[in-house]
Amino acid sequence: MIAFCNDRKAGYLLILTLKLMVLFKKAMLLCMVFINAFSYAIYANDKCNLQVSITAIDEQTNQPILSASIGFGKSFSLSDMNGWSVMENVCLGKNHLHIQAIGYENIDKDVIVSGNDSLKVFMKVARKSLDEVEITGHKQVLSTTATATTLDKSELNKTAGGSLANAVETIAGVSMLQTGATISKPVINGMHSNRILVLNNGVRQEGQQWGVEHAPEIDPFSAQTITVVKGAAAIQYGGDAMGGVILVDPAPLPTDSLIHGSLNLVGVSNGQMGAASGMLSGNFKKLPALSWLVQGTAKKGGNLKTADYFLDNTGMNELNYSVAAGYIKRHFDADVYYSHFNTELGIFKGSEIGSIEDLEKHITLGRPIDDGSFSYVIGAPKQSVIHDLLKIKAHVHLNDYLHLTAQYSFQTDARKEFDIRRGGRSSIPSLDLSLNDQSLNVSLDYFNGKAWKGNIGIVGNRQENKNIPGTLTTPLIPDYISENLGVFAIANFLKTNYQIEAGIRYDYKYLSALGYDLDHNLYGGIRNFNNVSGSLGAIWDINPRWNLNTNIGSAWRSPSVNELYSNGLHTGAASYEMGDSTLKSEIGLKWITSLQFKNAGNWLNISLDGYMHYFNDYIYLNPSGQLYQSLQGAFPTFNYAQTNARFLGTDLNLNIAFLKHFDYNLKGSLIRAKDISNNRYLPTIPTDRLEQAIRWKYDPVPYLKDSYVEFSHVFVARQNQYEPLSDYTQPPDAYHLLKVGLGTTLLVNKQSLNINFSINNLANTEYKDYMDRFRYYAHDLGRSYELRLAYVF
Amino acid sequence: MKTTILKFAFLATVIGTLTFSSCKKNPTPTPEDAQEEYDASRIQFVLLNPEGSETTDTTTIDFNRNGVAAPNTAMLMSNKHYRMLITLLNHGNSVNDEVLEEGTIHQFFFIASQNNVFDYAYNDFDVNSRGIGLDGTAIISGPGTTQLKVVLRHGLDKSKPEAQSWNSTSYENAGGEDDLNISFQITAQ
């Protein structure tokens, strides 16, 4: 794994990098001094008639702190049950903030006030004497100017048992790309596969994501929060984050000496699926700085059902577990994380097709010939994926302002795909890929608690992919070795009402691919890619009612191995695909602006995002209009090509609270995408969607919390913007889906039991979704009764 | 303390970079002996005597990987019976036994463009006594010319009405997928 090789060039490069880092730090300190001096000059005149509201929140549980003593400047107050207090007659400029609350670490900080403001202060539990608390004047989890939405545990509990794509689909602008009902991938603003990045506990998920039928190998049960970032976040996370990033973050390691845990149970009628997931975490009494966490999930489902018939061979199994340990001290912390993901997915039997004639017949019928039946048995065709991830991270405070983080990760992905074959070969995989990926990130963070934040880092990555011999069929993609090196720098200027962010990144990628084709000829080659990405963004809290985020960022993506070297019959897709080894990198520029409004009475909440995404050399599958003739019949051929493309879109999220206990929520999204070089529409673009829900919230008794009954309606429009040649048939009709749900949380002592029950596709509508690659062969899911329990202690 | 940490970071970065400059720069793939893709097919018409015994007169049509027939026309005699043998080949070797082993889910169908030239009867049967089609009797009437499409369906339900005749044009409704879909011309004279 780690081989020591004597390479002087590497050593010189390193010394240069470190010298740059030290220089940058000096430059930043200088900058900070200058800006501070400048701001004091501006705010020289005294004004003491400002109002500042302060909310004290428990950092770990996100619960408000009652009766915290808050002193700000000359004012003093006690926080109410919402952790809230208002400071009157606050002077412009520097004010000292002092917060004291039983069980928590005191806060003593200087804050610069430039106008009426609201501050959220996160307080750490007193047992651990940790480092300084970050005061954030903003409501986001991440300090990023790109639009980000976080799903917390209460929202994740409603989709528990589903895939990662199911979990994030509830966010406006996020949809799914399906390959039948068992395989789904998330789509952010029209981007998916290797145009979005999935970060699993801070590690880039690497697992053949170029394949549209390769779903992310992540267990959503392991997440405490899932955040979707909709901007081109390539600066922090590297290439591939063109359309956005999905951050899957686990529960933080506990800092008290109790054993914590949770148990989730899910039962779904469609597919008769059951899932159980448990988590335990704790601390060592003799060594309180050392915490641990273990988690495991088991899932099993059988054949799924559409409105009228069963989908044969759509069962699934999953067995996952993860282990984490952390050592947390005042100025240093380290953690280790290991996760194992193992799934077996049945692929709908009716999707096995021979030639274009077969396909046309399937399309005419639009559904399988037989009604199928229920079974838990999974046979060919199917996928079997095992994914292991190891992460080691260390974080140290060089001084009060400067933090150093180093992270090493190692991943392996073993992906086997089985087709229906003769001669007993159905049990031999026809695709057997083994991938391993190593990454080392070192970064330096600067934050002086006031106005300046900076971040520089260096990232190195090495990936190896092998086709395991013995499949008795020619591999689809060659073996390859890929190495990446990236260096980046980000600076944030933070004021209480606004924030400006700028970033720049340089990436180098080396790709060496080699494989044997059908006639045992060697093919492949070596490619080198270089790119610079940049981003600029701002957040502006215009006033307590209006908030604006805007971010413009460039990102790039080198062509993936299948785009470069595909050359063969893709029987599963009834097509013959040809790669182009001369493809260049894609460069994208995304500008996303998000406007948020909350009215004075606080009963109306609107969030509107608008984005423009331009691509140079966008890679896509172009239908050549020709047929490839083989013994099995004729197949349409597609070749990977590049063009310039633009995406325009908008996402809306609106909430109206009325009649004391009611809520109306509306979510909408639409995308318009075009190949602007050829003035054609692009294939597989999500259709217009509208989702509305009415919710009644009422807690009948004190030990029940967050009780609700909800009725929702989803409308998905027909895709009218498509090129007839690029698709085998017309897009499916628009459809409506109805859903009813209810839930509550039972509180006993410090334990809680969250219960959610829903009936999905209430009207048992028979429908097909344009973004389902199996829509030619079958319909989407019928009615389903779902029960979800989450017990936390 | 700070210098120690920086030294540690330096070391971590060094190890990292050295790992990435480590020896193996190119992959070493293994050629795969593709077993199941049959790369050729052959159809033979063996002329039969009136009482049913075989003669030595054989007309052979070979199909390459792209399904192209050579020659593209089988010149046969009108009002004669032929034994029609279909062979699936991989690297020159017949893989017919694999089809026979899974006989219950394999069946050949023959679709002629003209009615009065080609007629057929299965000679081989699976364990449920249903025809397969690797071995059959072709009854040539004519004179005339017809295109003949030969389809091997894999994974079908042979009990379905659409699978009951060798020339069922709705064979897809019996399920399964095309494993072979080739076509050539028969001229009966």
Class of the domain covering A257-792: mainly beta
Q: pLDDT-derived band of residue A718, with 50, 70 and 90 as boundaries?
A: very high
For A422, the closest of B20, B21, B98 (CB atoms) is B98
The pLDDT score that the predictor gives to residue A15 is 55
Number of H helices and E strands in chain B, helices first, is 2, 11
Lowest-confidence segment of A353-367, A642-656, B119-133 by average pLDDT:
A353-367
Instruction: Evaluate if residue A153 carries a pLDDT over 60.
Output: yes
Report residue B124 as tokens. Answer: 């081989």
Is the preceding omega at residue A636 within 30 degrees of 0, hence cis?
A: no
User: Which of B39, B47, B68 lies closest to B185, judged by CA?
Assistant: B68
Instruction: Evaluate if residue A18 carries a pLDDT over 60.
Output: no
Tell me the C-alpha distance between A337 and A324, whole Å: 4
Strand partners, A540: A498, A548
Residue A459 in contact with residue A486, Cβ under 8 Å? yes
| Average confidence score pLDDT of chain B | 88
Q: Which amino acid is at B119?
A: D
Chain segment A168-224, per-residue pLDDT in tens: 999 989 999 998 888 999 999 999 988 999 999 989 999 888 888 889 999 999 998
Q: pLDDT-derived band of residue B3, with 50, 70 and 90 as boundaries?
A: low
Instruction: Evaluate if residue A532 carries a pLDDT over 80.
Output: yes
Q: pLDDT-derived band of residue A142, with 50, 70 and 90 as boundaries?
A: very low
What phi, psi does A659 have (nearest 5°)?
A: 45, 45
Q: Cα Rg for chain B, rounded, in angstroms?
A: 27
Question: CA dist B149 to A570, A619, B109, Å?
Answer: 23, 38, 8
The pLDDT score that the predictor gives to residue A40 is 36
Is the preceding omega at residue B161 within 30 degrees of 0, hence cis?
A: no
Instruction: Evaluate if residue A227 carries a pLDDT over 70.
Output: yes
Q: What is the mean pLDDT of residues A758-769?
A: 96
Instruction: Evaluate if residue A337 carries a pLDDT over 90.
Output: yes
Residue A597 in contact with residue B33, Cβ under 8 Å? no
Tell me the chain A residues in contact with residue B17 when contact means C-beta distances shorter than 8 Å.
10-11, 13-14, 460
Instruction: Evaluate if residue A739 carries a pLDDT over 50.
Output: yes
Residue A253 in contact with residue A290, Cβ under 8 Å? no
Residue A500 in contact with residue A535, Cβ under 8 Å? no
**A105 Cβ partners below 8 Å, 6+ apart?**
A123, A124, A125, A126, A129, A130, A133
Report residue A133 as tokens. Answer: 């608390």
Q: Which amino acid is at A283?
A: N
Q: Flag whether the pTM goes above 0.95.
A: no
Residue A213 in contact with residue A193, Cβ under 8 Å? no
Q: Which of A371, A396, A399, A422 to mutate to test the interface with B (most CBs of B within 10 A)?
A: A422
CB proximity under 8 Å: A 576-615 to B: none
Tell me the C-alpha distance between A767 and B157, whole Å: 27
Chain segment A667-684, per-residue pLDDT in tens: 999 999 999 999 999 988
Report residue A207 as tokens. Answer: 């697992």
Chain segment A451-504, per-residue pLDDT in tens: 788 889 999 999 999 999 988 888 888 999 999 999 999 998 877 778 899 999
Tell me the C-alpha distance between A394 and A332, whole Å: 8
Report residue A762 as tokens. Answer: 């209430």
**Structural domain boundaries of chain B?**
40-188
Does A701 contact B at CB distance below 8 Å?
Answer: no
Tell me the C-alpha distance between A607 and A591, whole Å: 16
Answer whether B173 sits within 8 Å of A354, measured CB to CB: no
Classify residue B171 by its DSSP letter.
G
The pLDDT score that the predictor gives to residue A5 is 31
Report residue A269 as tokens. Answer: 């009628």
DSSP assignment of A220-251? GGG-SEEEEE-S--HHHH-TTTTSEEEEEE-P
Tell me the chain A residues in contact with residue B42 when contact means C-beta distances shorter than 8 Å.
none
Q: What is the mean pLDDT of residues A681-689?
A: 92
Q: What is the mean pLDDT of residues A556-574?
A: 80
Question: Residue A408's Cα: distance from chain center in Å?
Answer: 20
Q: What is the mean pLDDT of residues A529-543?
A: 89
Question: CA dist A264 to A226, A244, A340, A752, A755, Å?
Answer: 17, 29, 18, 12, 10
Q: pLDDT-derived band of residue A129, with 50, 70 and 90 as boundaries?
A: very low
In the CATH hierarchy, which fold is given to the domain comprising A48-136? Immunoglobulin-like (2.60.40)
Lowest-confidence segment of A144-153, A481-490, A634-643, B46-55 by average pLDDT:
A144-153
The minimum CA-CA distance between A367 and chain B, rounded to whole Å, is: 11
Instruction: Evaluate if residue A242 carries a pLDDT over 60.
Output: yes
| Average confidence score pLDDT of chain A | 85
Instruction: Evaluate if residue A298 carries a pLDDT over 90.
Output: yes
For B21, the closest of A10, A461, A518 (CB atoms) is A10
Neighbours of A49 (CB within 10 A): 10
The minimum CA-CA distance between B103 and chain A, rounded to whole Å, is: 11
**A733 Cβ partners below 8 Å, 6+ apart?**
A718, A767, A768
Tell me the C-alpha distance between A257 and A35, whole Å: 44
Does A4 contact B at CB distance below 8 Å?
Answer: yes
From A362, which residue of chain B is nearest by alpha-carbon distance? B172
Tell me the chain B residues in contact with residue A475 when contact means C-beta distances shorter than 8 Å.
29, 32
Question: If DSSP codes are grouped into helix, strand and coil, which group holds residue A633?
Answer: strand
What is the CATH code for B40-188?
A: 2.60.40.1080
Tell me the C-alpha distance between A453 and A211, whole Å: 38
**A190 Cβ partners below 8 Å, 6+ apart?**
A243, A613, A647, A649, A671, A673, A685, A686
Q: Which of B37, B68, B101 to mutate to test the interface with A (most CBs of A within 10 A)?
A: B37
Does A373 contact B at CB distance below 8 Å?
Answer: no
Reported ipTM: the value is: 0.81
Q: pLDDT-derived band of residue A31, with 50, 70 and 90 as boundaries?
A: very low
From B22, which residue of chain A is nearest by alpha-carbon distance? A5
Question: Residue A197's Cα: distance from chain center in Å?
Answer: 7
Strand partners, A278: A263, A296
Tell me the chain A residues in contact with residue B26 when contact means C-beta distances shorter than 8 Å.
481, 512, 514, 526
From B64, which residue of chain A is nearest by alpha-carbon distance? A631
